[in-house]
């Protein structure tokens, strides 16, 4: 801060003030020398007059020079962003004040512009960073000028300033980019493959920026990862192949028997009886397979619709117990229900929850030890165990466990139980009927509810499936 009191100490040394005074008084000095030479004036008189003119000049010029220096320092401090108190300058000259005011106005105008620009840049960056797909800006030579968070995550933190041919090892992609850079085309779309960091199928959209956009960026590249979509496509086609295969087998059996009945076994009463029984079984299997497939596709269709009904789990368990009582009696199994008190109602699709309990209880009856107990328990849980593939719901949950006695399932097989069409070999060998879709259906329903399904199996306790469903959605 500057005060007028110690102004003098702040007066710049190399200010040429003295030089200016001397130069200004040269014409006057010449006049005095002439007056003394012509003896119009006495030398003493001339020196005194000359000295008083110099003093007069100093007094008149000093404030101007000093204030100019103050203004200069002030502008310099503004330019370098330092603090400088313009009020303490105490300017006396009208022009200095006007200059300072003009500089102030200009400064606050640009400071305001900078603030707006900064805020805009921050919000633009935030928007770009929130996009799930990689976006990059490149200059005329293909150097990456900027990349959003997704691009930095997928292709490396320090991709900025690198040339795209160092990031993407695909000739087709590089060719497409150079076409846009050479202005042979305004935009290019293509699908290409990269091996690093992982094998990926990518879709790129390369677009020239409009000519109005100033700056070094000339094109924008947006990239979409098709790897996931490719996996889903593969899963779907595998599923169709599996489903067709599963349907073809019983169909082939039925056709085979029809042919036999029409030819070799035409008049064999005993064989006809046997064959018709098998054909009926196969037809039933086909019908349950189709029913399960339809059920699965229906569940998948509204997988992302939040369930909004109410379900009383205890009531559903009793309904399942009743529905499967005949089946339980066939294997002399006793279905027991264990219930903790005050089980809350849950927000769920009651029909679907019943389907899950029924599928799991049906399995327990089919694959559990005959003449033993199948126990359905329901209890409160503080949270749902996390899943690797999706985010389970937060908050309190209701757990429903279904236990049956029987041999231990190996960990490898345990991990595969919910795969579509997966069935344990031992159960196929024992000719226990099933489609291998019941657990996949259960899993999808639980996924829709943002719950979870766990399974444990030991030779002592048998197999226990536990369904966790959130109380609230």
Binding pattern to Mg ion, positions 320-359, x when CB under 5 A?
----------------------------------------
Confirm or reject binding of residue 367 to ligand ADP (CB under 6 A): yes
Strand residues in 210-354 grouped as ranges (E): 219-225, 310-311, 334-339, 346-347
Confirm or reject binding of residue 272 to ligand ADP (CB under 6 A): no
Largest CA distance in the chain: 166
Residue with smaller CB distance to Mg ion, 58 or 369: 369
351: Cα separation from own chain's centroid: 34
Contact 438, 449 (CB under 8 A): no
The one of ligand ADP, Mg ion, none whose footprint includes residue 74, by CB under 5 to 8 A per kind, is none
87: Cα separation from own chain's centroid: 51
**Tokens found for residue 456:** 């444990």
Indicate which single residue of 307, 438, 451, 462 sits in contact with Mg ion (rule: CB under 5 A). 438
Residue with smaller CB distance to ligand ADP, 118 or 238: 238
Q: How far is the CB of 233 from ligand ADP (least distance, A)?
A: 24
Find the binding residues for ligand ADP in span 414-443 (CB under 6 A). 417, 422-424, 427, 434-440
The one of Mg ion, ligand ADP, none whose footprint includes residue 401, by CB under 5 to 8 A per kind, is none
The one of Mg ion, ligand ADP, none whose footprint includes residue 427, by CB under 5 to 8 A per kind, is ligand ADP
Rounded CA separation 205/188 (Å)? 6
The one of Mg ion, ligand ADP, none whose footprint includes residue 469, by CB under 5 to 8 A per kind, is none
The pairing of beta strand 144-147 with beta strand 135-138:
antiparallel
Confirm or reject binding of residue 365 to ligand ADP (CB under 6 A): no
Contact 324, 362 (CB under 8 A): yes
Q: What is the dihedral of CA 232, 235, 236, 242, to 10 degrees?
A: 180
Strands ordered across the beta sheet of 397-404 = 334-339, 373-381, 397-404, 462-470, 452-458
Burial class (CB in 10 A: 0-12, 13-18, 19+), 213: exposed
The one of ligand ADP, Mg ion, none whose footprint includes residue 452, by CB under 5 to 8 A per kind, is none
Confirm or reject binding of residue 463 to ligand ADP (CB under 6 A): yes
**Tokens found for residue 414:** 């345990």
Find the binding residues for Mg ion in span 240-269 (CB under 5 A). none
| Closest by Cα among 63, 61, 83, 58 to 73 | 83
Indicate which single residue of 404, 444, 452, 466 sits in contact with ligand ADP (rule: CB under 6 A). 404
Q: How far is the CB of 149 from ligand ADP (least distance, A)?
A: 41
Q: How far is the CB of 400 from Mg ion (least distance, A)?
A: 16
Q: How far is the CB of 427 from ligand ADP (least distance, A)?
A: 4
Indicate which single residue of 70, 358, 363, 375 sits in contact with Mg ion (rule: CB under 5 A). 363
Q: How far is the CB of 432 from ligand ADP (least distance, A)?
A: 7
Supply φ then ψ for residue 93, to 5 degrees: -75, 135
Q: How far is the CB of 173 from Mg ion (least distance, A)?
A: 48
Work out the angle between the directed axes of helices 17-37 and 43-79 (0-180°, nearest 10): 160
Task: Read off the DSSP letter of residue 5.
Answer: G
Beta-bridge partner residues of 400: 378, 467
DSSP string over 115-136? HHHHHHHHHHHHHHHH-SS-EE
Confirm or reject binding of residue 436 to Mg ion (CB under 5 A): no
Q: How far is the CB of 362 from ligand ADP (least distance, A)?
A: 7
Binding pattern to ligand ADP, positions 335-364, x when CB under 6 A?
------------------------x---xx
**Which of the stretches 11-19, 348-356, 361-369, 388-396 binds Mg ion when contact is defined by CB under 5 A?**
361-369
Rounded CA separation 35/33 (Å)? 6
Footprint of ligand ADP (CB under 6 A): 359, 363-364, 367, 404, 406, 409, 417, 422-424, 427, 434-440, 463
Footprint of Mg ion (CB under 5 A): 363, 438
């Amino acid at each position: 801060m500057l005060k007028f009191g110690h102004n003098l100490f702040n007066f710049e040394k190399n200010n040429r003030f003295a030089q200016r005074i001397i130069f200004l008084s040269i014409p006057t000095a010449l006049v005095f020398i002439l007056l003394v030479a012509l003896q119009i004036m006495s030398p003493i008189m001339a020196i005194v007059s000359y000295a008083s003119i110099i003093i007069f000049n100093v007094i008149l010029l000093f404030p101007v020079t000093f204030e100019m220096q103050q203004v200069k320092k002030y502008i310099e401090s503004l330019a370098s962003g330092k603090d400088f108190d313009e009020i303490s300058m105490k300017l006396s000259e009208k022009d200095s004040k006007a200059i300072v005011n003009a500089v102030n106005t200009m400064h606050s105008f640009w400071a305001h512009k900078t603030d707006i620009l900064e805020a805009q840049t921050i919000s633009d960056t935030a928007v770009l960073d929130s996009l799930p797909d990689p976006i990059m800006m490149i200059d005329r030579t293909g150097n990456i000028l900027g990349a959003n968070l997704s691009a930095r995550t997928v292709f490396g933190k320090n991709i900025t300033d690198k040339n795209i041919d160092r990031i993407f090892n695909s000739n087709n992609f590089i060719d497409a980019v150079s076409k846009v850079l050479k202005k042979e085309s305004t935009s290019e779309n293509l699908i290409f493959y990269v091996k690093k960091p992982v094998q990926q199928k990518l879709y790129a959209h390369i677009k020239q920026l409009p000519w109005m956009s100033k700056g070094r960026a000339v094109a924008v590249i947006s990239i979409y990862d098709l790897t996931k979509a490719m996996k889903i496509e593969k899963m779907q086609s595998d599923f169709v192949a599996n489903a067709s295969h599963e349907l073809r087998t019983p169909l082939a059996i039925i056709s085979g028997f029809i042919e036999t009945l029409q030819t070799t076994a035409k008049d064999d009463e005993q064989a006809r009886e046997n064959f018709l029984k098998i054909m009926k079984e196969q037809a039933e299997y086909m019908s349950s397979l189709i029913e399960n497939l339809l059920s699965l596709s229906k569940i998948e269709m509204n997988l992302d619709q939040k369930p909004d009904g109410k379900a009383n789990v205890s009531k559903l368990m009793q309904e399942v117990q009743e529905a499967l009582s005949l089946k339980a009696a066939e294997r002399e199994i006793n279905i027991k229900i264990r219930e903790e008190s005050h089980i809350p109602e849950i927000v769920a699709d009651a029909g679907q929850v019943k389907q899950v309990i029924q599928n799991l209880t049906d399995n327990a009856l089919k694959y559990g030890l005959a003449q033993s107990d199948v126990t359905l328990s329901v209890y409160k849980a503080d949270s749902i165990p996390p899943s690797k593939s999706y985010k389970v719901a937060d908050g309190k949950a209701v757990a429903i466990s279904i236990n049956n006695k029987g041999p231990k399932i190996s960990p490898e097989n345990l991990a595969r139980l919910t795969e579509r069409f997966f069935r344990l070999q031992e159960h196929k060998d024992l000719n226990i009927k099933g489609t291998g879709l019941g657990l996949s259906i259960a899993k999808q329903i639980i996924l829709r509810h943002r719950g979870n399904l766990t399974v444990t199996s030991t030779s002592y306790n048998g197999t226990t499936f536990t369904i966790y469903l959130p109380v609230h959605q």
